[in-house]
Amino acid sequence: MCTDPDLKILVIRGGALGDFLLTLPAVAGLRQKWPEATLELVTNPGFGELVTGPGRVDEVRPIDRPGLAGFFAKGGVLEPDWCDYFSEFDLTISYLFDPDGIFAANWKRGGGRGQYLAIDPTAPALAAWKHLADPLQSLEVRPGMSHLLRGEKLIGQEKSVRCGMIPRLVVHPGSGGTRKCWPLEEWIGELQIWQKEQPMELVWLAGEVEGNLLRRVPEGLRGEPHRTVENRPLPEVFRLLQSSDLYLGHDSGISHLAAWSGVPCGLLFGPTDPKIWAPPGSHVRTWYRSGVWPERGELARWWQEELRPILVMKTARR
């Protein structure tokens, strides 16, 4: 493999936001191993803009750019633009689901050169971020600190200075997978219970996938001093999360974004196992009971016992 400044590395990553963020310790490890190399991603451009900048990811090519589909078909027609692009890299790491090696064969047929490492992103038996990063040990690459990849659109946008002793909680009661969602009415009930012991400013967060979910939140929980935030760009959501005192949510991509922002997180897991799917970090706390949701009042008690000390420390520092 060529020397560091001349090395060109490509990481191909499909999937949803949570999948992307779980891959960042691996990407950060590559950047840590080869700080002067050119590092590019083929991924969702909305995700890629979170990590683009000097010393981070150099460029992002949209995974939905026309012509890539032919690489997924056996003997498919290969778009010259993609063939030329793949031929530029000395090391290509694919996190695509490619059990029959069709994409890999077409990558080679289309002129891909250098080393190609295919990592199956599915069915992890250990923490997903480790499952995605550990195969890079063959390159002497260890998982890196993913927060160092925060891109130019995020760096320089420091946490807003907050005054007062009322903590701000961001609540995202949705998820891309409906089976991972506890009913909104249950969230409302638990927050109403906790409010009796813990004053709070609530920011309800939702994206396109949640539709009109937040319209069902009672006015008393979304009117002043509370509010709702819907369908905002990811950099803006990141800054909201980073400026808050606590985040509450399910196993979702936004929960992974919250953890990556550094805000303390209290995550409710239903059918998915947090030992596999929780974001890394000691600031992430999870409630889980093997697919069984909490009883009435149980989550509010857990918040009070597990998360209130965090809020006390954060507000005391202001």
**Count of structural domains within the chain:** 2
Tell me the per-residue pLDDT of 203-261, one tens digit each, with 9 for 90 and over.
999 988 888 899 999 999 999 999 999 999 999 999 999 999 999 999 999 999 999 99
How many other C-beta atoms are found inside a 10 Å radius of the C-beta of residue 134? 17
**Chosen domain end from 119, 149, 179:** 149
Structure tokens at 89: 């890299």
What tokens were used for 72? Answer: 């997924």
Residue 87 lies in a domain: yes
Q: Quick one: 11 and 120 in the same domain?
A: yes
- Residue 162, in any domain of the structure: no
**Is the pLDDT score of 175 beyond 90?**
no
User: Running DSSP on this structure, what letter comes out for residue 159?
Assistant: P
Looking at the structure, do residues 181 and 86 belong to the same domain, yes or no? no
Residue 151 in this model has a pLDDT that exceeds 70: yes
* pLDDT tens figures, 12-63: 999 999 999 999 999 999 999 999 999 999 999 999 999 999 999 999 999 9
C-alpha–C-alpha distance, residues 49 and 152, integer Å: 8
Q: What is the pLDDT of residues 178-214, one digit of tens each?
A: 899 999 999 999 999 999 999 999 999 998 888 889 9
Question: Using the 8-state DSSP alphabet, how is residue 303 labeled?
Answer: I
CA distance 141 to 215: 47
173 with 281, same domain: the answer is yes
Tokens for 238, please give them.
């990141």
Query: In the block, which residue shows the tokens 């974001």?
Result: 279
CA distances from 309 to 242, 264, 306 (A): 19, 11, 7
Last-in-domain residue among 120, 149, 178: 149
Are 10 and 121 in the same domain? yes
pLDDT (tens digit per residue) in 131-149: 999 999 999 999 999 999 9
Residue 71 placed within a domain: yes
Q: Do residues 19 and 121 make contact, with C-beta atoms less than 8 angstroms apart?
A: yes
In a domain, 158, yes or no: no
Q: Which residues does residue 249 pair with via DSSP β-bridges, in sequence order?
A: 172, 267
Helix (H) or strand (E) holding 291: none
Number of residues written out for the chain: 318
The predicted pLDDT at position 95 comes to 98
- Enclosing domain of residue 97: 4-149
Per-residue pLDDT at 158 exceeds 50: no
pLDDT at 161 over 70: no
Nearest residue to 80 via CA among 94, 92, 66: 66
Cis peptide preceding 225, ω within 30 of 0: yes
Q: What is the 3-state secondary structure (H, E, C) of 163-183?
A: CCCCCEEEEECCCCCHHHCCC
Q: What is the model's pLDDT at position 209?
A: 84
H or E stretch at 219: helix 219-222
Q: Are residues 173 and 209 in the same domain?
A: yes
Regarding whether 262 and 230 lie in a shared domain, the answer is yes
Q: Average pLDDT over the chain, rounded to whole?
A: 94
Residue 163: which pLDDT band, with cuts at 50, 70 and 90? low
Residue 316 confidence class, pLDDT cut points 50, 70, 90:
confident
User: Based on the domain organization, do 8 and 66 belong to the same domain?
Assistant: yes
Maximum mean pLDDT: which of 45-49, 174-178, 270-274: 270-274
Does residue 287 have a pLDDT over 70?
yes
What CA–CA distance (Å, rounded) separates 106 from 72? 8
- Asked if 18 and 144 sit in the same domain, the reply is yes
* pLDDT value at 157 more than 90: no
In this predicted structure, the answer to whether residue 311 has a pLDDT above a threshold of 60 is yes
Amino acid residing at 249: G
> Is there a single domain that holds both residue 44 and residue 173?
no
Say if residue 183 is in the same domain as residue 245. Answer: yes
Residue 170 has pLDDT above 50, yes or no: yes
The CB density around residue 157, as the number of other CB atoms within 10 Å, is 15
**Residues 94 and 200 occupy one common structural domain:** no
User: CA Rg, the chain, in Å?
Assistant: 21
Query: Would you list the DSSP string of 59-126?
Result: EEEETTSTTGGGGGSTTPPPPHHHHHHHTT-SEEEE-S--TT-HHHHHHHHTT--SEEEE---SS-SS
How confident is the model at residue 304, as a pLDDT? 97
What is the pTM for the complete model shown? 0.95
- Domain containing 232 — which CATH number? 3.40.50.2000
Does 76 share its domain with 133?
Answer: yes
Mean pLDDT on 285-301:
97
Structure tokens at 271: 């059918």
3-state secondary structure of 318: coil
